[in-house]
Amino acid sequence: MFFHRSELQYESKPDAPNAVFAKKVQELIGGQFGEMSVAMQYLFQGWSTRGNEKYRDLLMDTGTQELGHIELLATMVARLLEGAPVYEQEKAAADPIIGAIMGGMNPQHAIVHGLGASPKDSNGVPWNAGYIVASGNLLADFRANVNAESQGRLQVARLYSMTDDRGVKDLFSFLIARDTMHQNQWLAAIKDLEAKEGPIVPSTIPPEWEATQYSHILYTNTETSTASQLPWVSQPAPDGHSITVEPPTPLAGRPVLKPGPPEAHDTLPAEDAK
């Protein structure tokens, strides 16, 4: 069950309206790495977690917090639009400077959403469930969670630099702090699971399934690439095996495909290919 309280998790009030910045904030709501993505990612990971109740609870707790972050940002968008001259664009266009500024807003905020936020990114692209990762393997999922929180924190930091509004910066400061906590918790969870399962996902593959002679080779052309000079190349891999460096030579011959059937109407093969 979910419960909603009318109080916000944190203050979300800009100093002044700004329709153009409201459009930018939409990225933090419905973008690939926005709050909708992490909320749905954590909740679906939690709903499918079996036999790891503490991590299930952590996922559900964090996903629920992210729902609150959506509410914070949706409130911020609504307040950035509140009092902005979004219905006066034609008049504003008489002043070329104001017209250019207002031209950068999202017209759907006024036309479709009645001065409210929407489940879309800063370009108006609807949020997509394909953004989320929920594989049923906690180690794989927690690594995806670190990436999601890293990208989200990066985007909030970039938007923080794009505004002088103290109210907006205050909310962003809170979100940056929460992203720090969430990165820390997923990194700690990864460390815990790696100690039990090893660093390679999944750890349950039978040894005979893997062509292990290729498992620890770094293929690189040392004449054109400096990848072999990375310090970890000369050290044991995270799974304890040694890494070797080899040139990327072909392991098979050139493929020759048979002509397609007449029904495919492919180009007839050259004489030398028959």
Q: Which residues are annotated as a binding site for Mn(2+)?
A: 35, 66, 69, 149, 182
User: Residues forming the annotated binding site for Ca(2+)?
Assistant: 57, 61
How many residues are present in the chain?
274
| Radius of gyration, alpha carbons of the chain | 26
Q: How far apart are CA 193 and CA 211, in angstroms?
A: 25
**Tokens of residue 92, six digits:** 């504003």
Q: How far apart are CA 63 and CA 141, in angstroms?
A: 14
User: Residues forming the annotated binding site?
Assistant: 35, 57, 61, 66, 69, 149, 182
In angstroms, the Cα distances linking 98 to 90, 241, 242 are 10, 63, 63
**Residue type at position 270:** A
Helix (H) or strand (E) holding 75: helix 53-81
Q: Reduced to 3 states, what is the DSSP secondary structure of residue 135?
A: coil
Q: How many CA atoms lie within 13 A of 87 on its CB side?
A: 7
**Residue type at position 194:** E
Q: How far apart are CA 2 and CA 43, in angstroms?
A: 12
